[in-house]
Structure 1
Amino acid sequence: MTANNPHKGRVIFHIDMNCFYASVEAAYNPDLKGKALAIAGNPEERKGIVVTSSYEARAKGVKTTMTIWQAKRNCPELIVMRPNFERYRAASKALFRILSEITPDVQPVSIDEGYMDITHVTSDLTPLQIADSLQKRVLDELDLPCSIGIAPNKFLAKMASDMKKPLGITVLRKRELASTLWPLPIGEMYGVGEKTATKLIEKGIKTIGDLANYNTYELKQVLGINGERLKNRANGIDNRPVDPDAIFEFKSIGSSQTLPYDTVDEQEIRRLLAILSENVERRMKRKNAAGQSIQLMIRYQDRKTITRSKKLYRYIDGKDEIMYEAEELFHKHWNQEPVRLLGITLQDVEVKKNIAKQLDLFTYEKEAGKEKLYEAIEGLTEKYGEDVFKKLEAVKEDQPRTSFQKDFLDDYRKE
């Protein structure tokens, strides 16, 4: 039995579940197999948009983020189901349990995808055979299809898993980049969004190969340090480790929601801000965290979107405080035009035990001349008690209601 194989470099898998929500529903109810199926929100409201759909639905022109009425216009026989988050959570747990039986080096990225480093897995099987066995096991035990990318780093593994769907296994080697990766349109490169793609195309960078061979200095003039990073990725350079502890890292927590209709009704707007504040509070409590900056997003009826933020002198995590700051930002920056969507995000987020460490008594005395530090400690003491530096507030676990793709990581780390 041999490892897979450190002296030849790393062996990284990217596992990407195919049409995950729709596939889970079809596994739960086999009558849905082979049918045009979409998972979406409330069909009676505009916010009822397609979250994901089966390949049969996609073949008829159904796309993610499409409204239900648009999807049904393209595919009259479309079956629309609301999401069942507990069902998807259970399937995700089962998936990552299977991955973790092969190696402890598993990094979940979202509810339906993750990386594995099998470099040091001792096995008589080749990496391709391990991937084939894993794919078949997930299909046999969970009745769920997945695609697997195999490469020497995370970026190439991610690109590889997208190349064959459903039930694809793709090996992407550095020596093959010129023939397999470089001909692809720049917009298909992982990490290149629509705005970045537009900037690159304006510079004549139309393919990933164009990016790989473009002048680094000029790229940095257009995209900053990200330009050099993207060029490295296009050349197959990505030294990021597969990090199981990455699930502990988060810097912001937010919630957004589209209104049922565009409105200038301040009561409706305030009602939604209250809902969003409660959603953010719930997620903060799940992570036992607090934030020191708040950001408000407003999208108007013409889809123009603005974001405005405010740095706070104290850490906050409660819905009343979040609501107060969000309302203040809203009234300061709202242009009185009909509002389509609102979002609230707490930024500069830290877990409470880290906040306590940062504001311990030694720091308090050393920096006694800084008024803002006094105010921060006073705010912490008021919220968490006199012994804020010795004890942490016990946090009651609530079921997540929003940002489900990120919330599932909390469950994974408790496994």
Structure 2
Amino acid sequence: MSKARIIFHVDMNSFYASVEQSYNPELKGKAIAIAGNPKERRGIIVTSSYEARAKGIYTTMNVGEALRKCPELILLPPDFPKYRQASKAMFTILRSYTELIEPVSIDEGYMDITELSKERHPLDIAKEIQLRIFNELDLPCSIGIAPNKFLAKTASDMEKPMGITVLRKRDVPSKLWPLPVIEMHGVGESTAKKLNSINIKTIGDLAKIEESVIRQQLGKNGVRLRARANGEDSRIVDPEAIYETKSVGNSTTLPFDETDIKELEKIFEMLAGKVAERLEVKNLCGSTISIQIRDANWNNHSKSKTFQNPIYQKEDIFEEAFNLFHKAWNGEPVRLLGITVSNVIDRKQSVQQLSIFNFEEYAKQEPIYELIDEMERKFGKGILKKGVEMGKKQSFASKTSFSKDFLEDLKE
């Protein structure tokens, strides 16, 4: 039987807004919100201070609506370099305790303090970390303490701001099971609807359902969620996780609701180009492509396709994504579009599977391979390569999203 672990989930409270208040003390105690350009549809609330939240302001709210609800709301444009600097400083503090740190996003991460707990009580460590982040960076955070990552994440959400919550596995029936299943970490609206359709209304319902039933409805993900509902999670805190890229994508919010298929086609072509550029920078290819559609009523639709051979070129990404769009779009005005290529691997690791569709292409190249073999027999392995592998370009194109960009800082 494996030894019980002690995991922290450190979650910064209202991070962007708190950083702004830290830099400008005059903003403290006031309703502030970080938003995009208010003149465009991108003008939605990214995050807001707790003072603003108390007046009904929430993330994704339109700027106009937010100002009507709270006329004294102070709107600020995002300052990403400032937030990245604060994030790096926060993780530096965490690493002063242990190297077993797994950053999840710019404002949250896991810590495995099992070894540290042999010398000090976990609550004392958590209080010290919280106070250090507050005193040294002037930023509030909440910390969840639990035997696994799922429960730690759940615990950190229970008391904000500046909360420290312990959640043991034995607490799950009394503290989690009565809650609506939508409130469970890892369950979104779509999954909640599916669960509700089979009469799973609460986390307790999910925990108690037969595994075979949930597997039939939701596959492996359903089995995983059922285990989490019972407080089970075997994932380790993995510092190497920041080096793994699992997907590369790009999305855009349209300036206005769009129904013109030609305009939507242009947007898909633009998105495909950006995804292809990011894959190129990272030297990756992926075997699954997904599209996201958000309509004017904020309903999300997605569709995906998996291939035998990985793709990475703009033309292929565009063609497959637009074909998926034709199958998924119901004609409603479109507010947002996105393309993601997932199950990515290094191109050097990819192996093309010969088929009746690409055999001819490879047959034409066979004389070239024979020539390379002959040259290598004479002059040594590696004397010739198919193409030239250049050093990776330094480009913002390598970033999949700002929330992931900060990971580059943490690898230094």
Return the alpha-carbon distance in structure 1 between the equivalents of residues 247 and 337 of structure 2: 16
Instruction: Name the counterpart of 1:214.
Output: 209
1:96-111 equivalences in 2 (<5 Å): 96-111=91-106
CA contact (8 A) 1:313 1:372 kept: no
Structure 1 equivalent of residue 17 of structure 2: 22
1:255 aligns with 2:250: yes
* Equivalence for 2:371: none
Gaps in structure 1 of 5+ consecutive residues: 1-5, 360-366
Determine the structure 2 residue equivalent to 1:407: 405
SS in 2 for 1:116: strand
Q: TM-score, normalised by structure 1?
A: 0.83
Pairwise CA distance, 1:196: 2.5
2:367 counterpart of 1:372: no
Q: 1: distance between equivalents of 2:246 and 2:229?
A: 27
Taking structure 1 as reference, are residues 337 and 74 closer, same or farther at Cα in structure 2, changes over 3 Å only? closer
Inter-partner Cα distance in structure 2 for 1:177 and 1:311: 37
Q: Which moved more, 1:263-272 or 1:118-127?
A: 263-272
Q: Distance in 2 between matches of 1:310 and 1:217?
A: 26
CA apart distance, 1:145: 0.9
Q: CA deviation at 1:248?
A: 3.0
Q: State the identity as a percent.
A: 54
Cα distance in 2 between the residues matched to 1:377 and 1:156: 55
Residue 131 of structure 1 deviates from its aligned partner by 0.7
Q: Does 1:93 align with 2:88?
A: yes
Aligned to 2:146: 151
- State the shift of 1:216 in Å: 3.0
Give the residue type in structure 1 aligned to 2:169: K
122 and 150 in structure 1: CA distance in 2 versus 1, 3 angstrom threshold: closer
* Residue number in structure 1 paired with 2:380: none
Matched, 1:395 2:381: no
1:73 correspondence with 2:71? no
Q: Matched residues in 2 for 1:332 and 1:177: separation?
A: 42
In structure 2, the residue matched to 1:362 is: none
**Deviation at 1:326?**
4.7
- C-alpha separation between the residues in 2 aligned to 1:339 and 1:378? 44
Q: Deviations over 1:200-226 (max 9, x none)?
A: 344443332333233333333433333
Judge conservation of contact 1:13–1:115 (CA < 8 Å) in 2.
Answer: yes
| Partner SS, residue 224 of structure 1 | helix
The answer to whether structure 1 residue 232 and structure 2 residue 220 are counterparts is: no
Answer whether contact 1:19 1:52 (CA < 8 A) is retained: yes
Partner Cα separation in structure 2 for residue 66 and residue 93 of structure 1:
28
Q: Taking structure 1 as reference, are residues 402 and 261 closer, same or farther at Cα in structure 2, changes over 3 Å only?
A: farther
Contact 1:155–1:236 under 8 Å retained in 2: yes
Paired amino acid for 2:161: P
What is aligned with 2:283?
288
Specify which of 107, 121, 141 is matched with residue 116 of structure 2. Answer: 121
Q: Is the 8 A contact 2:248 2:400 kept in 1?
A: no
d(CA) in 2 for partners of 1:96 and 1:151?
20
Equivalent residue pairs, number: 395
Change in CA separation of 1:63 and 1:245 when aligned onto 2, cut-off 3 Å? same
SS in 1 for 2:396: coil
| Cα 1:156–1:91 shift into 2, 3 Å | same
Query: Which residue in the other structure is 2:130 paired with?
Result: 135
**CA shift for structure 1 position 378:** 9.0
SS at match of 1:34: coil
Tell me, in whole angstroms, the C-alpha distance in 1 between the residues paired with 2:231 and 2:119.
28
> Which whole-Å deviations, capped at 9, do the CAs of 1:230-288 have from their partners, x for residues lacking one?
22212221111111122233332111111111234566445533542343245324533
Structure 2 vs 1, CA of residues 72 and 374 (structure 1 numbering), >3 Å: closer, same or farther? farther
Which residue does 1:64 correspond to in 2? 59
Root-mean-square deviation (Å): 3.3
- Seen in structure 2, the aligned counterparts of structure 1 residues 406 and 129 have a Cα distance that, compared at 3 Å, is same
Q: Which moved more, 1:224-233 or 1:234-243?
A: 224-233
For residues 351-401 of structure 1, the C-alpha deviation after alignment (integer angstroms, 9 at most, x for no partner) is 23423xx46xxxxxxx8787637758999x9xxxx7248x63321111367
| Paired residues of 2:302 and 2:328 also in contact (CA < 8 A) | no
Q: Is the 8 A contact 2:291 2:321 kept in 1?
A: yes
SS in 1 for 2:339: strand
Q: Are the aligned partners of 1:285 and 1:396 in contact in 2 as well (CA < 8 Å)?
A: no
Q: Give the C-alpha shift of residue 304 in structure 1.
A: 5.9
